Structures are given as structure tokens and as C-alpha cells.
Amino acid sequence: VEKSPQVIGRNTVTRKFNTILKQFVATAAVAVFFMFSTGGAFAQTKTLRMATWLPPMHSLIKTLDRWGQEVSKASGGSLKVEIMKAPLAKPPGQYDLVKKNVTDLAWSVAAWSPKRFHLFRGIDMPFLFSSAEVGSAGLWDWYSKNKFADKEFTDSKLVGAYVNPPHLYHSRKKLTVLNDLKGQKIRAGGYGIGILKKLGAAPLFLNPPSTTQALQKGTIDGTQFPWEALKGFRLVKYSKYHLVIPNGLYTNAWWLSMSKKSWGSLTSTQKNAINAVGLSGSRLIGKGWDESEAAGKNAAIKAGNTITVLSDADTARLRKIVSFVEDGWVAKTNKMGLDGKALLADLRGTISKYK
């Protein structure tokens, strides 16, 4: 019996269609695998939300945005960092935001969690450096090579480590020598509280954003801050005297960390991208701090404020007074089974690489 030509045609078309469909599905599967396993150019951009607690006009916010751009560039555009508009927690509570997976990224001052970040605060020792870029590079390098994040950042992923420029003193009252600090109510934090007590001042801890109102109302007489804070917190007209410490008094270590859940959701390529900007990104943030220092100092000069560089005699006296900071850090580090003195010598050597 002769077969119908129409039936033969239908079967042929069906077979060809099935073959094409299988080829398409196979190709699509490979493409999907490539997108999600390699973070390729066709992968959907992942947005990482970064918590904040500083005013949006603060220079650090602009610098952190630049850090986010570097991460995006390193990831080939598969990552985007978005800084949130409003704070989700007070400054000392920022670490809990990444620890509890509330947000992808957060950052803050290590001194506000001293028990958690003792080793990280090795960079807080007095008179180590005068440039935040140098200090930030030294901190990331030293902390990374000693693998201290494995001890102190066990419930998050450290992705950046940086410092602000060293502190000086700003006051609405006369302040040209160390003795002028006696009896003055000075806003401080970290090791600065102990230092001011030894200088006869009355230190008070306030979150940085609260300083402006406290100075305006006379609740405090002055504050310890880098120059940049004069513009960042609008302090120029409330602090007419500025006492500069040669080579900087001391600084604060700042951490930038990611929640473990967010880190685990990244592709290997995206993780490599973030790791790749560890040193350069930390250095970038420190450089941003340095650039904002000049603007803060110039604002004080323009306002006609009194700027005094501490005398050699007072500087030598201050060095002796603040020695307790380093002694205490070494003693506590030794109790952890480490060689505190050797670690600080190594830190100084690491910092010198970037000067």
C-alpha cells in the first residue's frame, strides 16, 4: 500500500522540530550554568545594601560610594553597592546588622566594641603615622597576613579595614597648651577617654553625630576629631581653638564587613572581586579621609580660628603620658598567647612600607 505523502511530511517536520528544540534547550542550559557559576557578563546584577549612620554630606559616605564603584568594576558589573538613606542602628550597634543578616554590609569604629576587636585596634596606638592612607594600608596588610580576622570576625566577612586621620583637639575655650585641657569637658571615645583623664580633662563619650548639638548647647567644651570633622559635623563656628599634635595623637580602626549569608550567596567570581579590592579599597578609603582633612583645616583658617601646634616640650610630655595605651595593649595581647611587643614591631614595619 502506498503511504500518503502528507503523513510523511508531517513526521519529517516533527522530527526536525524535536531536534531543534533539544539543541535549544541544551544551549540554554549551558548559558544558564555559565551565568550563575562564573558570574559572567550576562548574569543579573546583584545589589548589596550597605548600612549607614553618618550624615549623607559626610566625606566618608562619598568615599564609601567610591569603594562600591571599585567593587562593581572588579566584578565586571555583576555587583552593585547601594548605601542606605537612613540608619538602622546606632553606631555601636552596626556590627549586629551584619552578624544577624539584617543588611549585606556595615561599617563602624572598632573602639565601640573593644572586647571583640582588641587585635584589630593595634593600629590605634599613639604616634604611629600621620596619613590615613598609610595607616589603612598598613592595617589591612598586617591584620590579613596574621590572619586575625579568623579570631575576631568569626560571624561576618571582613572586606575592608581603614583608619581616620589622627585626632587633634578642638575647643570653644582657650586651648594652646596641654594644661589648657584641665577641667574642660571634651567629647572623646576609645583610648582618648583614658588619655584625657590623665591630662586632667573631663571626657564624655558621645556618638560623633551628637557632637554638634552638644557643643552648640555648651554641654561640652570641645572634642577630639580629625580636621575633616569640622565640616562633616559643622563644628567650625562652635570650636574656635584647635590644638595640633605633631605626627598625630592616635587614630581609630574602622571595619567594613559583610554578613556571612550575603557572602555565601555570591559566586566565586564575585567573591574574588571583593577580595581583590581588600588592600586597594582600604587604601582608597584612607586616601579619601586625607583629602577631606585639608578642607576641614582650611575652613578653620577661613573662620579666623586659633590653630596651635603643640610645643616640643608638651609633645615629649604627652608621649610619656600616653605610653599606658601601648603597655595595656601588649599586656592583653600577651594574655591571649601572642607576643604583643613583637606584633607591634611588625605593625610599625608594615606601616613603614607604605610611607
CA–CA separation, 60 vs 64, rounded Å? 6
Domains 46-166+252-291 and 168-250+302-352 share a fold: yes
pLDDT reading at 4 higher than 50? no
Per-residue model confidence as pLDDT tens digits over 190-201: 999 999 999 999
pLDDT exceeds 90 at position 15: no
Q: What is the CATH number of domain 46-166+252-291?
A: 3.40.190.170
Phi, psi angle pair for 331, to nearest 5°: -60, -45
Distances in whole angstroms, Cα of residue 189 to Cα of each of 23, 114, 124, 250: 65, 11, 12, 11
C-alpha cell at 37: 557559576
Confidence of residue 37 (pLDDT cuts 50, 70, 90): very low
CA–CA gap between residue 218 and residue 231 (Å, rounded): 19
Distance CA 76, CA 336 (A): 42
Q: Report which of 253, 244, 257 is spatially closest to residue 309, judged by C-alpha positions.
A: 244
Here the cell at position 239 is: 570650636
Domain ranges of the chain: 46-166+252-291, 168-250+302-352
Band (33; pLDDT cuts 50, 70, 90): very low
Angstrom distance (rounded) from CA 323 to CA 310: 18
Tens-place pLDDT, residues 309-321: 999 999 999 999 9
Q: How confident is the model at residue 111 (pLDDT cuts 50, 70, 90)?
A: very high
Q: Which residue shows C-alpha cell 607604605?
A: 354
Q: Which residues contact 172 (CB under 8 A, 6 or more apart)?
A: 215, 218, 221, 222, 238, 239, 240, 241
The model's pLDDT over 331-352, given as tens digits with 9 standing for 90+, comes to 999 999 999 999 999 999 999 9
* Confidence (pLDDT) at 10: 45
- What is the fold, at CATH topology level, of the domain defined by 168-250+302-352? D-Maltodextrin-Binding Protein; domain 2 (3.40.190)
